[in-house]
Amino acid sequence: MASSRVVGLFSIVLICITIAQGRKALNTNNEFSASSLVNNDDGICKSMVETQGYTCEEHKVTTSDGFILSIQRLPTRRSGEKANKPTVLIQHGLFQDAVVWLWNSPDESLAFILADNGFDVWIVNDRASRYSSHTSLTPNDQINQLLQAYWEWSWEELANNDLPATVQYVYDHTGQKMHFVGDSQGSLMAFVAFSQGNLLNMTRSAAMLSPIAHMGRINSDATRLAAKLFLANYAYWLGIRQFLPNAAEGLMFLKHICDILGLDCVNLLTPFTGPNCCINSSRIDYYLEHEPQPTSTKNLIHYSQMIRTDTIARYDYGLLENLRRYGRVHPPNYELFAIPKDFHLFLGMGRLDMLADVEDVKFLLSYEFKNHDPNNLVQVLKENYAHADFIMSVTAKQDVYDPMIDFFNKQ
């Protein structure tokens, strides 16, 4: 019962589980070949990029707490012409890895689209990805204390350790300030880093897709219930530190939430993420070869805290531990209004998104960004988009990516 609230948190998990149970998605005639479905041991460059005719470089960077992150670079157009525009760093969301920026056709996948537009593209895999590792720990260590240590983190460590290490690495290699793209959890990581004044000296602008910040108005009943029931907390107390959504336990826990709410568990996607408009059903088996990726139970506890308190705060350890760590009863907030008013921001939102829901984004804009220079804050609202459409839609190029590229070109 504990881990089900995990699943209610973010879209990609639910997409994958829903798809596995037979959900019908949008059919299109774009039958992009799945011939690049190869062994993940080959790495993303060899299995996902070079197969499509692009040059690709594999890189690794080590975080301050010992995680070794895998990064891929696309330095040229498909034609082989070298990039002549600034660097773009792309950060995936929860339960994902960098494959999500490559898994549709080159005409539909953001990393390929940016490369063909002349940008120097870098895509990063966070610490939970199968492509990342650790200097001394392993995700499936047989020694329980080491296993628990590997998964003892939340989005706060991603924002304060993973993202700074990645941005610094890319900056050191290119010598130029970069554009940033973050989807869902990726946007939260950047918001938190920028609010502390970090990385701004290396960043030209940021595009946040399905932006996650305040979550107190989230309109997914299933997700809200899971947070209210403290389900991830119970899992943590039982010693469950890693959550893998497509495991049998994940499916069982998700079904439990659906049963409580009387939801149709054959059609799980809509109750959690909203009705995604534009997913290519012919690609579903291909998506399931790559996603979802695991996350830590502690990360899901942190999201539950955000939903219950409507704050963007440091992890709440409870009264005594908070006093020891923070010198106060309640954890301090991350104040996004501290992001400089002249920093260039692009927000891509979906009217039907039930995770980065419109009301929460409106609150973000009216509270945190009320004094932000409107000339430096671009908003794109897609009436028919839900949470997963920003990475999976077959029409995302014209709907979101082209306006985002126009935004980048003006900076």
Torsions phi, psi for 166 (to 5 deg)? -70, -50
Indicate which residue of 162, 183, 316, 353 is catalytic: 353
SS (H, E, C) the chain: CCCHHHHCCCHHHHHHHHHHCCCCCCCCCCCCCCCCCCCHHHHHHHHHHHHHCCCCEEEEEECCCCEEEEEEEECECCCCCECCCCEEEEECCCCCCHHHHCCCCCCCCHHHHHHHCCCEEEEECCCCCCCCEECCCCCCCCCHHHHHHHCCCCHHHHHHHHHHHHHHHHHHHHCCCEEEEEECHHHHHHHHHHHCCCCHHHEEEEEEECCCCCCCCCCCHHHHHHHHCCHHHHHHHCCCCEECCCCHHHHHHHHHHHHHHCCCCCCCHHHHHCCCCCECHHHHHHHHHHCCCCEEHHHHHHHHHHHHHCCCECCCCCHHHHHHHHCCCCCCECCHHHCCCCCEEEEEEECCCCCCCHHHHHHHHHHHCCCCCHHHEEEEEECCCCCCHHHHECCHHHHHHHHHHHHHHCC
Indicate which residue of 36, 184, 195, 393 is catalytic: 184
42 carries an active-site annotation? no
Positive or negative, the CA dihedral 110, 282, 94, 53 is negative
353 carries an active-site annotation? yes
133 carries an active-site annotation? no
Residue 214, judged by CB atoms within 10 A of its CB (0-12, 13-18, 19+), counts as buried
Indicate which residue of 179, 256, 290, 387 is catalytic: 387
State the catalytic residues: 184, 353, 387
